[in-house]
Structure 1
């Protein structure tokens, strides 16, 4: 969870400027933690400009890596960025054998937690910040990287405010890759067919839902079967009604979920459900099926993270060129505003505390992280959390450029609920949420249940 500071608030402005101007990075040499000189910007083995962090170990070593990136052929921007970064890192460090294993989202979460419990974590592994990584830190499984990152100037190349979700008790455990946002994607062609306007307010949104429904067009694609897409809607409605500060306080256990504003947000959610905005069978629809529904023009709107940009603008997409991202509409009487976003910087890779050859692994790790930040941005899936030259941005996904402009005035962020809440709290949240959207409990009972199960005694 992040309440944005001035540095993070300007991060997307910086990225937008870098996108258009491709400004150069810092060319001063920095001394690495092992005394070797880290060159500023070299030519990588793939012919592209390598990040300043490239410094190859002399001896041959093997590094094991696990991630939630299981499909090298995916059009998802995060998957594209990961595999490009992985290949670039292998080429940059020919003496290093990187053994990667990728797993689908839910199975990955189960596997990495089991590996931690058995003290059998890989050398480097993907993680989310906040509550997800906290047990690894408290279990003394992760290498703190404060001194390493300070000694060689790595922290100077990171956009301010983007490491907060990876910092525990004043110590840093992971570097960021990108600044992710969720936005409302709108199929302009379907809106024109229904005679609906792009929604700026809640009334606009409900009018569009009614107009689309009248034309036999499903208004919004939602894959609630996987739970977290349903959470996205709860989160953004809470942001609009209660604001980023109140949302942050509830998730940090310093505030309450059971407030008039959040009850009203739940009522707005129910209003959408009752209006059949998500169709009749959204509870049985998977995330993949909902995205496919949007990509094939069978639904007019999708509220989702920027990782879908690559799919929307993909060569085989039926909606390429027809979609525009917009800020989620404001709600009259709400304490939030259009410049508060669901998202932020919360994905990282962590280093096993018991890893051998720490300095060599660190050199590989920071190169990989900076490269992935650039590649994910170029693939159109979020702004880079690293300063400096982003390389050739002429082919950057147009949706990513539009999102960068939209979010350049951001004043607050709330990160993905299920990653910031610790394991049991996340499951309690999902249990209450699914009961609510299934019609088993009313808005007032829902917010009370969240408060009782997650913030008991607060």
Structure 2
């Protein structure tokens, strides 16, 4: 999906030194006396090489997506940092990646390190004993370097399985040039948004680029409307299977979504446009509004972008009568890399892994795609994408987050959610039927 994020040779030498000292042995790993000047023992300690296999969804090293940029910069930096570690990366794009890692997990053929989402998506890997718990390794000071709450989606039964990279949020992007041409204003309320949609349509401008053909962009709109009507706590309770989808608040959110569909806010055929096509519509000035993750910042402000300098980002409008507020966000920290439980050279892999994760967090932020989940100096931030800077300012006072539904739900629940949402988007069920169907399929009995 969207998708969407971070030791030195001296460190390796230090580890080897500590190991030899702790053992109190008079023999080296090669069988030579400890401290021997034997060329064989010196070479073994200094240049022993290992190979680490890594899979990710970052398939295109030339992508302008901030997440991709950050990933490849972190990968290159890690390779340079550890010359005696060969990282063999395989990138698989889109839904094919999810299929590949699920298949590999079932066959117990996962790579040493692999990209994953947290929440419900990660649960089968945990249940199948496929990934390495990190809580003991992370007591080396790593936990203290993380922003509080950013490991929640990677923690199961009080065990930590992944480190975060970034805090991702879905944001409302508006093309200020198109807004001005239509006489529309930045929407602060739901009524403002509906008025803008009518003004844009009158100028033959598609109001909102959706991309529902790929399903998850429609989920973003449904999710934020649920957040505005019910609040993040209520939404998270349903995703955690402790509350009901079929409530007056979520029914009201469904009616808001239907208002947009009926108003042709997403165009004549909401299901007819893919994610890539919808992004292209926005980037070429054919659509005025985009509700999407910060990973699009790099594309919007790329040197050759037709909308560079013409786009502003704002909080999603408030809705009168809703229990949510403007400082509750769709998003959070939900993407990570996991380490295979059966990985060899665990301690060395951990050192490489944590360096890579922290570096990726920094580079993704510098590429303008989400705030870093790691504390500390981010280096020269003077050239950080202005949209990313503003998103950081807008979300600094966040009072709640609710992460992507397709990652929080697991297995058949995710497919059930998408199936129901697509029927609803196609106008085949009412808002009330939609919430009842979600409840019956995902949270029966709640």
TM-score (norm 1): 0.88
Does 2:88 align with 1:99?
yes
- 1:360 maps to which of 348, 358, 362: 348
Mapping of 1:57-456 within 5 angstroms? 59-150=48-139, 152-456=140-444
Query: Secondary structure in 2 aligned to 1:409?
Result: coil
Q: Answer whether contact 1:34 1:359 (CA < 8 A) is retained.
A: no
Inter-partner Cα distance in structure 2 for 1:35 and 1:184: 53
Show CA shifts across 1:340-399 (max 9, x none).
Answer: 000000000000000000001001000000000000000000000001010111110010
Q: Answer whether contact 2:226 2:250 (CA < 8 A) is retained.
A: yes
Query: Secondary structure in 2 aligned to 1:258?
Result: coil
Q: Which runs of 5+ in 1 are unaligned?
A: 1-28, 38-55
CA RMSD of aligned residues (A): 1.6
Inter-partner Cα distance in structure 1 for 2:234 and 2:400: 11
What is the Cα deviation at residue 208 of structure 1? Answer: 0.2
Structure 1 residues 374 and 435 mapped into 2: Cα distance closer, same or farther (>3 Å)? same
Q: Answer whether contact 2:261 2:270 (CA < 8 A) is retained.
A: no
Query: Secondary structure in 1 aligned to 2:246?
Result: coil
Tell me the residue number matched to 1:7: none
Tell me the residue number matched to 1:26: none
Q: Answer whether contact 1:57 1:93 (CA < 8 A) is retained.
A: no
Q: Answer whether contact 1:33 1:148 (CA < 8 A) is retained.
A: no
Q: Structure 1: which 4+ aligned runs deviate by more than 3 Å?
A: 32-37
What is the Cα deviation at residue 57 of structure 1? Answer: 8.3
Inter-partner Cα distance in structure 2 for 1:33 and 1:268: 58
Inter-partner Cα distance in structure 1 for 2:263 and 2:15: 59
Structure 1 residues 34 and 329 mapped into 2: Cα distance closer, same or farther (>3 Å)? farther
Inter-partner Cα distance in structure 2 for 1:457 and 1:408: 37
Q: Answer whether contact 1:247 1:414 (CA < 8 A) is retained.
A: yes
Q: Answer whether contact 1:144 1:173 (CA < 8 A) is retained.
A: yes
Query: Secondary structure in 1 aligned to 2:260?
Result: helix
Q: Which runs of 5+ in 2 are unaligned?
A: 1-10, 20-44
Inter-partner Cα distance in structure 2 for 1:405 and 1:431: 36
Q: Answer whether contact 2:227 2:324 (CA < 8 A) is retained.
A: yes
Inter-partner Cα distance in structure 1 for 2:217 and 2:344: 39
What is the Cα deviation at residue 59 of structure 1? Answer: 2.0
Inter-partner Cα distance in structure 2 for 1:214 and 1:436: 26
Structure 1 residues 102 and 434 mapped into 2: Cα distance closer, same or farther (>3 Å)? same
Tell me the residue number matched to 2:26: none
What is the Cα deviation at residue 36 of structure 1? Answer: 5.7
Inter-partner Cα distance in structure 1 for 2:17 and 2:243: 47
Aligned residues: 410
What is the Cα deviation at residue 316 of structure 1? Answer: 1.1
